[in-house]
Structure 1
């Protein structure tokens, strides 16, 4: 697709302009992160006038918040997909493997889709009172809920005690998010791939041992 400010807008043929603008914003975020999610750019990508976007988004942050939610949903879906791949029959080992799988999925998403990852955690907030219903794609559990369910499963199968479970999502999420940030934008950015895998394995192992 040709990109540039001098491109003529395309005729709008979509049935849902709001979703078309979010879709455009998601693609902008994928390559440029949250700073690329601009109302004017999304309008151009959707093939509509800049003013048309304001019928659905109050301002720039309103659009970014919707795009961030979509990116967060993408992260959740990958976590769920990786977790559902675990088919170990032993209930305890399965629950433990499912927790590890969502941790790896989180790190995989950050490294494979850095623009989406940065956008998902951009802290943008939607404009209050927009009255817009959420898209079906965005109605998936958020990563916190996915993690919480995996930890609850560990309790249900007797892998950890309720006392160990209490507040564990904060430590687990902090561990994988911190490593994701260090690998993406921090001093571990240029770490050789074998060391990246070692770092991932170590962090996940420490989380697992801390719960035991």
Structure 2
């Protein structure tokens, strides 16, 4: 059966991104190879070039989807906090939820996490891309901003300390994530990493 028979319109592109995600899940960013993606989808490499100009274009689509999966994981953690009636408790809960979702995703989906933050266009600056988002239409960086805005609106975060707070919180939690998947915390038990993560998130809230 030819690719023309098997795929229509955007189906091949979607299938190739899905194949790239499967490869990234197991092997990280270096596993996303256009020839292997073509093999998994059952099409010739030249058919792939109708949807992706080169390997980088394919990789960026897979990376965007990995960021979307991270956004979904963060939003899942945020659901309980968003139901809290008290604005202060809700804001604190949202910020902690972003961090928990980030750390849990790094450990549960390490291949996707590495792919999401592999070298590429700076996500804060690139044009909006729905692939990087989940139900709220916000990418992971924007979800952190959303939580920090809630902190400022609730009076927990002083207005003069709001600018740039994303980068302080992000770098701290990302550092913990990297220590857990590539550093000395790999040998810690899940309970130890969870306890350290909770302490770290409390420190982030107090620090910003």
What's the TM-score bracket when you normalise by the shorter of the two chains? 0.7 to 0.9
- Choose the corresponding residue for 2:145, options 148, 154, 161: 148
Q: Does 1:169 align with 2:166?
A: yes
1:46 and 2:41 matched: yes
1:60 counterpart = 2:52: no
Partners of 1:11 and 1:48 within 8 A in 2? no
Measured in 2, the distance between the counterparts of 1:9 and 1:114 equals 35
Deviation at 1:12, TM superposition (A): 5.5
Cα deviations across residues 4-48 of structure 1 (Å, max 9, x unaligned)? xxxx99885233221111111011111111111010111111111
Q: TM-score, normalised by structure 2?
A: 0.87
Equivalent residue in structure 1 for 2:109, among 105, 113, 129: 113
Report if the CA contact (8 A) 1:12-1:46 is conserved.
no
Task: State the 1:81 CA deviation.
Answer: 2.2
Structure 2: gaps (5+ residues): 122-128
Deviates more, 1:98-107 or 1:58-67: 58-67
SS at match of 2:187: coil
Displacement of 1:186 in angstroms is 1.1
Q: Shift of residue 100 of structure 1?
A: 0.2
Q: Structure 1 unaligned runs (5+)? A: 1-7, 126-133
User: RMSD of the TM alignment (CA)?
Assistant: 2.0
Query: Which residue of 1 is the match for residue 198 of structure 2?
Result: 201
Cα separation, 2, equivalents of 1:107 and 1:57: 32
* Matched residue, 2:187: 190
Cα 1:14–1:177 change in 2 (3 A) is same
Tell me if structure 1 keeps the 8 A contact 2:71–2:132. Answer: no
TM (norm. structure 1) is 0.86
**Aligned-partner Cα distance in 1 for 2:27–2:105:** 16
Partners of 1:201 and 1:11 lie apart in 2 by: 51
State the alpha-carbon separation in 2 of the partners of residues 146 and 23 from structure 1.
Answer: 24
SS at match of 2:75: helix
Q: How does 1:86-101 map to 2 (within 5 A)?
A: 86=81, 87-101=83-97
Matched length? 196
Given that residues 152 and 162 in structure 2 are in contact (C-alpha distance below 8 angstroms), is that contact kept between their aligned partners in structure 1? yes
Distance between the aligned counterparts of 2:114 and 2:108, measured in 1? Answer: 12
Comparing 137-146 with 183-192, greater Cα deviation is found at: 137-146
How far residue 58 of structure 1 moved from its aligned partner, in angstroms, is 2.0
Which structure shows the higher helix fraction? 2
